[in-house]
């Protein structure tokens, strides 16, 4: 059984076939632009071109809130009105197969619970760094959603900045913000996360202040999460989680924070997500298997 997993992100829509053992094949992607009304049409064209008659179901990971009952994506947000309300129903009708959708932060969490670094954990959190900051939360083996489906939306944490008293972490400390600030400082619009990793290894002074601020916010968030939910582990996802500098620098910053707190401190157990940019595809498949697998 092969499931077509689709990850709708802020900059790209990624696709791939995933089976019940987590094996992946035929990975593809295409740009996610601001023409939200055409998302469903573009997904269908991509499926027809690359995946015709090769799957038993469709699993969706999407940025934005996803109602677990109605399967509506991005409720109350005008950004998603062009496709979010009907995407699951339209794909189910078009391809005559079971379709299941879940928030991308929750998918990253489910991937780690299924086959990743949290298989043996009852309570853990994921923080996903990318275009914005997302995440997921599991307590006692249960995915936590919250009253308004906002549990794990860590990007709404507030941090002070040089220009504002408070700013959303998704704006002040996302990977996109780090890349844009570094590109402006260096004068190179082609800068990406991989290039930043290389610059850090070279100790390039032009990027080190932005990286330090990025790490400071992540470490402070991890410390706060440890005392809010007391997880066994906090897993960091997104493309930048594969950088050589990130986890060591976060751990070093947490050690400094612990030294400054006048009491016994539980230092968070931090690790990169196992599957990197494929986490959402795997988690979407696992969500589908839990909800739609015929013998489940």
What are the pLDDT digits (tens) for 151-162? 999 999 999 988
Residue in this structure with the two tokens 């599991």, named with its chain if needed: 138
Convert the pLDDT of each residue in 96-143 to its tens digit: 999 999 999 999 999 999 999 999 999 999 999 988 899 999 999 999
Query: For all residues of the chain together, what is the average pLDDT?
Result: 93
Residue 171 has pLDDT above 60, yes or no: yes
Domains and their CATH numbers in the chain: 2-103+280-292 (3.30.420.40), 117-273 (3.30.420.40)
pLDDT, position 296: 47
Out of 19-23, 76-80, 259-263, 280-284, least confident range:
76-80
pLDDT digits (tens, 9 = 90+) for 47-74: 999 998 789 999 999 988 999 999 999 8
CA atoms within 13 A on the CB side of 275: 23
Identify the residue with better confidence: 217 or 52.
Answer: 217
Closest residue by Cα to residue 250 from 127, 163, 138: 127
Please say if the pLDDT value at position 44 is more than 60.
Answer: yes
Pairing of strands 158-159, 142-143: unpaired
pLDDT at residue 230 tops 50: yes
List of long-range contacts for 32-40, beta carbons under 8 Å, 24+ apart: 32/8, 35/82, 36/79, 36/80, 36/81, 36/82, 36/83, 37/82, 37/83, 38/82, 38/83, 39/8, 39/13, 39/82, 39/83, 39/87, 40/83, 40/86, 40/87, 40/90, 40/91
Residue 295 confidence (pLDDT): 65
Digit-coded pLDDT (tens) for 232-276: 999 999 889 999 999 999 999 999 999 998 887 899 999 999 988
């Amino acid at each position: 059984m092969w499931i077509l997993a689709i990850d709708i992100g802020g900059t790209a829509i990624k696709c791939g076939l995933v089976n019940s053992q987590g094996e992946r094949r035929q990975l593809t992607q295409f740009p996610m632009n601001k023409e939200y009304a055409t998302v469903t049409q573009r997904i269908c064209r991509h499926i027809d071109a690359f995946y015709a008659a090769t799957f038993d179901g469709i699993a969706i990971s999407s940025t934005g809130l996803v109602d677990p009952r109605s399967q509506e994506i991005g409720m109350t947000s005008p950004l998603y009105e062009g496709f979010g309300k009907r995407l699951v129903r339209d794909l189910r009708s078009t391809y005559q197969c079971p379709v299941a959708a879940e928030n991308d932060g929750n998918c990253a969490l489910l991937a780690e619970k299924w086959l990743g670094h949290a298989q043996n954990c009852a309570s853990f959190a994921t923080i996903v760094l990318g275009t914005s900051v997302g995440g997921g939360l599991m307590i006692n083996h249960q995915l936590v959603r919250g009253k308004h489906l906002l549990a794990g939306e860590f990007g709404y944490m507030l941090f002070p900045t040089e220009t504002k008293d408070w700013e959303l972490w998704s704006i002040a400390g996302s990977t996109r913000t780090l890349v844009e600030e570094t590109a402006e400082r260096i004068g190179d619009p082609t800068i990406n996360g991989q290039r930043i990793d290389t610059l850090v290894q070279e100790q390039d002074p032009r990027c080190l202040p932005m990286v330090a601020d990025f790490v400071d916010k992540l470490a402070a968030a991890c410390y706060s999460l440890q005392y809010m939910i007391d997880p066994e582990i906090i897993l960091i996802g997104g493309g930048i989680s594969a950088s050589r500098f990130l986890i060591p620098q976060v751990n070093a910053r947490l050690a400094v924070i612990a030294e400054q707190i006048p009491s016994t401190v539980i230092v968070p157990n931090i690790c990169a997500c196992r599957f990197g940019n494929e986490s959402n595809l795997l988690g979407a498949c696992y969500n589908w298997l839990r909800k739609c697998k015929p013998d489940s």
